[in-house]
Amino acid sequence: MAKPASVALRALWATTKEKISQNIKNSLIQNNGLLYEIKEKGGLLEVESGGREFNEPAIVGDSAAVGGITRSQTLNVDDQEGIDAFLYTPRIFYGTTHLFTTDLAMNAGEGRALSLLKARIEQTKESVNNGLDVYLCGRNNDAAGAHTDAESGTQVGWLGLQNIIPDTATQDIPGTGVSKTTYTKARSAVVTTACASNAAWNTANAGRAIVQALYNGCRQGANAPNLLLTTRTIWDAFQISLQANERFSNAGGQDAKVGYPALTYMANCRVTWGDNVLAGHMYALNTKFLKFKVLAEANWNMGDFIECYDAFREVAKLLIMGQLQISGPKFCGVYTGAAF
């Protein structure tokens, strides 16, 4: 006689839950333009052993301990200024997978029960991917444009793109403790040129001029944006503005392998869209200076199925604790003027 479905599923879950949590994480990273680029550039860290804060050194100014001298001059050995610590508080995101005893009874047999489990896991994966993407893209920001560091608000302390690259250059990153009013080089570039429609974007190269201004505002020597992340409508307008020979770039075959649609700008800067990017926004990002850091013990960790004491169901919980971080704001920027 075959084992009861609940017993079989418990055994299956015990041997595969780590693979499932890894699959959920990989799916999010592979299909999210922001996280994919951060990972590809080597900045996606997932090894913080613990702690109540992430301490991230950030470039907020120039060092005075450099310069030209004559042979007999004394070197300037003042402290290397222009480096300050951005402090980030890890926040919590979760997902749950439910198996109802009544559903198992109606799907008796290992084959049907397994199909039900797969469907539940797939739903968890898609919901976690979209939910966390909403947070990271900053769609639910407060009216003031940024969240406080308190345990409140629609994102309960998670930082999104609008928090770390704000619409106003002097707006501080919540909780980091560094004043952008004091440190001008801790500010991101902001382009606000108004553009009312898709047609206006493609009139007299207006849209191309906006993108170039945003790109140039973030470029510092050899450090240039490698990702332009925007809305679907702005992406559509951008790709329509391209000449035929600009629409395709082999780039060593890499563009055909990524998990999201992308064009290439200035030879090595991918242009892509996200459904959860704030309306009217385009972000120019140098992912060398971005991280999505998580705690090692809350790194998409999936628990066992536990039977609820007050309902005929079992629940497995997925836990993520981390934060989106930036270490070089001046290398990133945002365009906010599109009204379509």
CA distances for 56 relative to 250, 290, 328, 329, angstroms: 36, 10, 10, 12
pLDDT at position 42 is 65
CA distances for 117 relative to 121, 304, 320, angstroms: 6, 13, 21
For the chain, percent helix, then strand, then coil, each to nearest 5?
35, 25, 45
Percent of the chain residues past pLDDT 70, beyond the cut: 83
Least trusted range by pLDDT, from 38-42, 138-142, 197-201: 138-142
pLDDT reading at 114 higher than 80: no
257 — pLDDT class (breaks 50, 70, 90): very low
Gap between the Cα atoms of 4 and 8, Å rounded: 6
pLDDT at position 145 is 37
Residue 298, amino acid: A
Which comes out higher in pLDDT, residue 214 or 297?
A: 214
Gap between the Cα atoms of 329 and 331, Å rounded: 5
Gap between the Cα atoms of 246 and 244, Å rounded: 5
pLDDT reading at 150 higher than 50: no
How does DSSP classify residue 185?
G
- DSSP secondary structure letters along 236-274: HHHHHHS-GGGS---GGGTTTTSSS--EEETTTEEEEE-
pLDDT reading at 284 higher than 80: yes
Instruction: Of 13-22, 256-265, 324-333, give the range with the top mean pLDDT.
Output: 324-333
Instruction: Assign 31 to helix, strand or coil.
Output: helix
Alpha helix locations (H) across the chain?
Answer: 5-31, 33-40, 101-106, 110-137, 161-164, 198-201, 206-218, 232-241
How does DSSP classify residue 220?
B
Question: Is the distance from CB of 36 to CB of 287 less than 8 angstroms?
Answer: no
Quickly name the fold that domain 5-59+82-335 has. Answer: phage-related protein like fold (3.90.1690)
User: pLDDT per residue over 307-320, tens digit each?
Assistant: 898 989 989 999 99
Rounded to an integer, the average pLDDT of 114-132 is 87
Partnered with residue 100 across adjacent β-strands are 313
pLDDT at position 143 is 36
pLDDT at position 33 is 81
Residue 209 main-chain phi, psi, to 5 deg:
-65, -35
CA 317 to chain centre: 22
Burial 326-335 (b: 16+ CB within 10 A, else e): bbbbbbbbbb
pLDDT reading at 63 higher than 80: no
Residue among 66, 62, 110, 109 at smallest CA distance from 83: 62
Question: Is the distance from CB of 17 to CB of 7 less than 8 angstroms?
Answer: no
CA 89 to chain centre: 16
Rounded to an integer, the average pLDDT of 228-242 is 92
Which comes out higher in pLDDT, residue 110 or 59?
A: 59
Rounded to an integer, the average pLDDT of 188-194 is 97
